[in-house]
Structure 1
Amino acid sequence: KITMPSGKAIEDPAIKPYLSQYAGQELTTGAQAKAYADHYILVHMNKASAGKTYEEVSGEFMAMSQDKTADPATVAELGQLRQTLFMGNTLRGLLLNAYAFGTMGVIAWWGAVAAFVGSGLMFLLGFLGIWHRRTVPVEEEVRLGAGRVAAPAPAVG
């Protein structure tokens, strides 16, 4: 039940080109999930952490929480940022997983269409073979092992 952001929420130039086409829509497709994950959540995560990853912030937090001389307010702020980045990475992972399965669904759909077209073509060819069988006179048929041998192909010289 994610609604794509709109209005002032997507005015950032790093967001608008990617999300404006989905503004205000309910997130229901893989393409929307990828756009939201890569161009909304990730942009906000990078702004909050000044471009640092969860792993970098978590390492700083762990080191600072071991340091007895560290400012408790700074440690708490870093812990909050660590939690925010963890939740952002988790949500991005879930959305990108939805994108992957959406892509696989599209591929499977076109594979099914191709299989049905192929089966229709094979049905048509089978029908034409049966029709051809009924239109060839018996004396013109070439049957394997029936005594009549097909003429050999001319030698290429």
Structure 2
Amino acid sequence: MKRRTLDILFSIGGLGIAALLLIVGIVLTTNANFAKNYVHDQLGQQHITFTPADQLSDEEKKSDCLVEYAGQPMTTGKQAECYANEYIGLHLQSIAGGQTYADLGKPQTQLKEQVAQAQASNAANLADLQKQLADVTAQRETVFKGETLRGLLLTSYGFSEFGVKAEQGALAMYLGAGLMLLLSIAGLVHAFRTPATATFAAPEPTRNSTDDPVKV
């Protein structure tokens, strides 16, 4: 095969790959922008603002992100992660000794049974049991709300991370497309600089022994 033909074929293939990488990059960029804008709009509608720096508790000040975002409205996935883990998570630990909504289900059920028994027997500790039940119920409802909000914020954070990964993937596609374009251009330049008669990996002509001059 002629070397010029081979260079042109490889260059055309490189241009095709560059175009494909460019298209993939554009798709990834579109997805990244959608994720970023969607998370921004959804979080902005919640009107959540981080506690100002001068109002943070000593425990809250130990969190770097709470100090960094102090007083700012929540609009990004990273902010949602910080608020969910460092703010809500911290305050949930102070409720019911850090027990979760599921953990509080068992003591709540037990207290309901004890209250029912105390009511049936008109026990003297009925009022105390009712107060304990009210406290556990209030704690469980508070924990449920906190865990629900925390879960929703972490979901927003996870969705935003998909956008970040898509953005990184798009950058890789653009770099790959640029590299393939440069290589393809270099191949075309080399093709037109190569003599038309030059061949690639062509076998050398065999030499017939009868063509050798006869020595006298």
TM-score band, normalised by the shorter chain?
Answer: 0.7 to 0.9
Partners of 1:62 and 1:120 in 2: CA distance: 65
Q: 1:37 aligns with which of 56, 59, 84?
A: 84
Partners of 1:32 and 1:26 in 2: CA distance: 9
Instruction: Specify the alignment match of 1:155 in structure 2.
Output: none
Q: RMSD of the alignment, in Å?
A: 1.7
Shift of 1:93: 0.6
Q: After superposition, what is the alpha-carbon deviation per residue over 1:116-141, rounded to whole angstroms, capped at 9, x for unaligned?
A: 11011111111111111111011223
Instruction: Specify the alignment match of 2:67 in structure 1.
Output: 20
Larger radius of gyration: 2
Instruction: Specify the alignment match of 1:50 in structure 2.
Output: 97
Shift of 1:95: 0.9
Q: After superposition, what is the alpha-carbon deviation per residue over 1:73-126, rounded to whole angstroms, capped at 9, x for unaligned?
A: 221121111100011111111111111112221111011011011011111111
Unaligned runs of 5+ in 2: 1-46, 119-125, 205-216
Instruction: Specify the alignment match of 2:189 in structure 1.
Output: 131
TM-score (norm 2): 0.62
Partners of 1:107 and 1:59 in 2: CA distance: 41
Instruction: Specify the alignment match of 2:134 in structure 1.
Output: 76
Instruction: Specify the alignment match of 2:177 in structure 1.
Output: 119
How much identity, in percent, do the aligned residues show? Answer: 35
TM-score (norm 1): 0.84
Partners of 2:141 and 2:57 in 1: CA distance: 26
Matched position secondary structure for 2:161: helix
Matched position secondary structure for 1:12: coil
Change in Cα spacing, 1:106 to 1:79, as seen in structure 2 (3 Å) is same
Shift of 1:28: 1.6
Match for 1:149: what amino acid? Answer: A
Partners of 1:87 and 1:54 in 2: CA distance: 9
Matched position secondary structure for 1:124: helix
Matched position secondary structure for 2:75: coil
Partners of 1:78 and 1:103 in 2: CA distance: 37
Match for 2:57: what amino acid? Answer: E
Partners of 1:8 and 1:53 in 2: CA distance: 30
Match for 1:98: what amino acid? Answer: S
Instruction: Specify the alignment match of 1:2 in structure 2.
Output: 48
Aligned length: 145
